[in-house]
Amino acid sequence: MELIQIVGIAAGICTSSSTVPQIVKTLNTKKAEDVSVFMFIVLIGGNGLWTWYGLSKSDVPILVTSFLAISLNVIMLVLRYKYRHSD
């Protein structure tokens, strides 16, 4: 693996995992009514396009990190609906 691929994977992991703190906070507080659904829909759309781009270029770092980002964004949307009403 070339250095530039390692840099690409590291950058992708950093940006893709940016949702993790929000997921953890939502799981801990069981509150998510203030989380923007539209933002996560836009993120999923953008990462879907990155996945398509990665497939067309056979770029493994883009594919892996885009799939990670989509997965985490979907998890956050599920939590948004699960915890949409706080007590």
* Domains of the chain: total: 1
The pLDDT tens digits for 62-79 are 998 999 999 999 999 999
**pLDDT tens-place string over residues 9-65:** 899 899 999 999 999 999 999 999 889 999 999 999 999 999 999 999 998 889 989
Query: Does 44 map to a domain?
Result: yes
**What is the CATH number for 12?**
1.20.1280.290
In this predicted structure, what is the pLDDT of residue 84?
Answer: 85
User: Could you give the CA distance from residue 75 to residue 2 in angstroms, rounded to a whole number?
Assistant: 32
Of residues 86 and 75, more confidently modeled: 75
The pTM for the full model equals 0.86
Cβ contact 47:70 at 8 Å: yes
Residue 58: which domain range? 3-82
Neighbouring residues of 49: CB distance < 8 A, sequence distance ≥ 6: none
In a domain, 87, yes or no: no
Residues 32, 13: Cα–Cα separation, whole Å = 24
Residue 58 — left, alpha, or beta (φ > 0 → left; ψ -120 to 50 → alpha)? left
Residue 26 resides in a domain: yes
